Amino acid sequence: MNTRDRLCTDQPLVATTGPADPKRRDVLRWSLGLSAGLVLPPLAGCDSGDGNSAAATPDTLPEASRIYAQNGLIDIELVGAYGNRNVQFAASAQNTYPGTSRARSAYLRSYNSGILAPTLCLNAGDTLRILLKNRLPGNDAKYSSLSYLNYQNSTNLHFHGMHVDPKEIRPGVYGDYMVDSPDAGVKPGADRQHEITLPTNHSNGIYWYHPHLHGSTTTQVLNGMFGAILVSTPRNDFDLSKDIRERVIFVHRLNLTKEGHSDNLYEYEDDNNSAFVLNGAYQPTIVMRPGEIQNWHFLNSDVFYPFSPVLDDHTLWYYARDGNVFARQYRPINADTVAKIDGRFWPGSVMYPGNRDSMLVQASKTPGTYYLRAAKAPSSTDPEIVARIVVEGSPVEMDLPSPNRLPLYNNYQPITDAELAQNGGKTRAVILAILDKDNPLLVQPIPAGEEWFVPEKDNSGLTNFVFSTGNEGTKLAPFQSALAATQTVALNAVEEWTLYNMNGYPHPFHIHINDCYVIKVNGEDIEPYWCDTIPLAPNGTQNKPTSITFRSRFTDFTGKFVWHCHALDHEDMGMMELVEVLA
């Protein structure tokens, strides 16, 4: 898919139930500097104790080690650096197994020397301390004509989806601090101390951490700088049996030059993406016993493409989105339902970049081979096989937990018309649009000295596009402009925002710190749901934009944070705004 296609400007948890028994497993120290927290290796295949569960087929899905809070604390070092990695690279999406791929040697950024970064397991009320160490090489100050893009090896750290303090909480110690200018992030060779304390009423479920420095986010996430966070709560919102194996599965595409690099934004835009990989592996094998139930948390860590899972001859029992459990119901995902995404179904089970979907899967009682596929979705490539599921071994009798065990409300209760009115009833209309630099929706002429678009001399697929936002009735601008909008909100305010999309691509809107209660698509009521990343309704135009409407409570924390499009090249080019919550 070329850059113009990718821009689409011309087209109308539940968390773990606790650590595994350390008597049965060796406890490891994570190599990047554990100072507090219990580290366990990835789980092996489940064993019922009857000695008959051994599978002939190896399970090849890589899984990260887990670090569990001890005495309410995880305290680790996280080192970002380049490393060599051997990957199977498939240059296109293929709906066949095995797909055609070839071994490639890649030299990429990561948090853990090319190995999956650890999954951090916390309880509501726990504290997470991370000393971020940037050991990437110096920045190339001349690769782009836009100065803010010349910090591809500076970085910072975002705790995606978490309701935590966004400020510098005390001198030299930062919460979910995302308001660095590109030249003021954590520079190569520098360190930054982060500390977040989860509120005692924090929602349980799946979250993740990744870099978020404006201008460098795309390439660092694309390379693999990310890891998962699992949050449990004392309320036991959805307390699954320890016999149900839990898997955390990152889904994304690789992007490599002929030399096996992916060093900057221009390389990403001008090179082809691979097929999807799961936890870095191309078409891995997942082994299950007949009748076995597993709990899968999918995280879409891709920088552009949606992912919509469907498993041949099975139903996936979808129960939570972005860590928010559906109220006492499963939403079935199978060949019949996976395409139902329009109107009140939007976005169905489709995960856009930044989304997390949690689901239970029960293996067929019929041994055999089944395929997990990425189904067709707006702005996706053709359907493709992303994994092989092998059902073999001795059968097990497991009952799917009743959806009545799901909580009626997972921390966040619905925001009613009455609550909105009682808190001022403020509404906002916000526009997201990729526009040509000469578009009259932008200030004309563009202010001298401001970096709104990539000039033609840079020979990039991004040339002359402005990635803009703004309030309805105002001129639009990119984040790096002095004219960019800031959404100023009062602490404890309840507001309703309508987001308008002027492009074919369903820009995934992600807001930090406070979740969204989505109530309308294109002005029509839907069955509301909570999330932190909302794909906007697709196929908008300047004359007829599409829309999503949500409500939010801006509680607990003051300070500055951001919302942005989680198609990360769009964010890096300016589709982002500041939000400031004032007491």
Classify the phi-psi angles of 436: left when phi > 0, otherwise alpha if psi is within -120 to 50, otherwise beta. Answer: beta
Q: Report residue 459 as tokens.
A: 């020979």
Q: How far apart are CA 231 and CA 124, in angstroms?
A: 7
Residue type, 429: A
In 105-163, which residue ranges form alpha helices assigned H by DSSP?
none
SS3 state at 568: helix
Ordered structural domains, the chain, with CATH: 13-89+97-232 (2.60.40.420), 245-403 (2.60.40.420), 417-582 (2.60.40.420)
Q: Is residue 14 a contact partner of residue 295, using CB atoms and an 8 Å limit? A: yes
The pLDDT of residue 392 is 97
Written as one letter, the residue type at 540 is G
User: How far apart, in whole angstroms, are the C-alpha atoms of residue 52 and residue 58?
Assistant: 16
Q: What's the pLDDT score for residue 372?
A: 98
| Predicted local distance difference test score (pLDDT) of residue 15 | 28
What's the pLDDT score for residue 382?
84
- Pairwise CA distance, residues 321 & 340, whole Å: 17
CA distance 312 to 371: 6
How far apart CA 320 and CA 206 sit, in angstroms, is 9
pLDDT for res 301: 98
Instruction: Let me know how many helices (H) and strands (E) the chain has, helices first.
Output: 5, 34
> How many angstroms separate the first and last alpha carbons of the chain?
46
Report how far residue 75's alpha carbon sits from residue 94's, in angstroms, rounded to the nearest whole number: 42
pLDDT at res. 163 = 97
Asked whether the bond before 41 is cis by omega within 30 degrees of 0, the reply is no
Predicted pLDDT of residue 115: 77
Single pTM value for the model: 0.92
CA atoms of 129 and 134, how far apart (whole Å): 16
Neighbours of 60 (CB within 10 A): 16
Token pair recorded at residue 190: 């520098």
Cα separation of 241 and 189, whole Å? 45
Q: What does each of the 583 residues of the chain score in pLDDT, given as a tens digit?
A: 444 344 543 333 222 323 222 222 222 233 334 456 777 666 544 443 344 455 699 999 999 999 999 999 999 999 999 999 999 999 889 999 999 999 999 999 999 887 799 999 999 999 999 999 999 999 998 899 999 999 999 999 999 999 999 999 999 999 999 999 999 999 999 999 999 999 998 988 999 999 999 999 999 999 999 999 999 876 666 778 889 999 999 999 999 998 898 999 999 987 778 999 999 999 999 999 999 999 999 999 999 999 999 999 999 999 999 999 888 889 999 999 998 887 778 999 999 999 999 999 999 999 999 999 999 999 887 899 999 999 999 999 999 999 888 877 666 899 999 999 999 899 999 999 999 999 999 999 999 999 999 999 999 989 999 999 999 999 999 999 999 999 999 999 999 999 999 999 999 999 999 999 999 999 999 999 999 999 999 999 999 999 999 999 999 999 999 999 999 999 999 999 999 999 9
The DSSP result for 245-279, as a single string, is EEEEEEEEEEE--TTS---SHHHHHHS-EEEEEET
The pLDDT of residue 53 is 53
What confidence score (pLDDT) does residue 411 get? 67
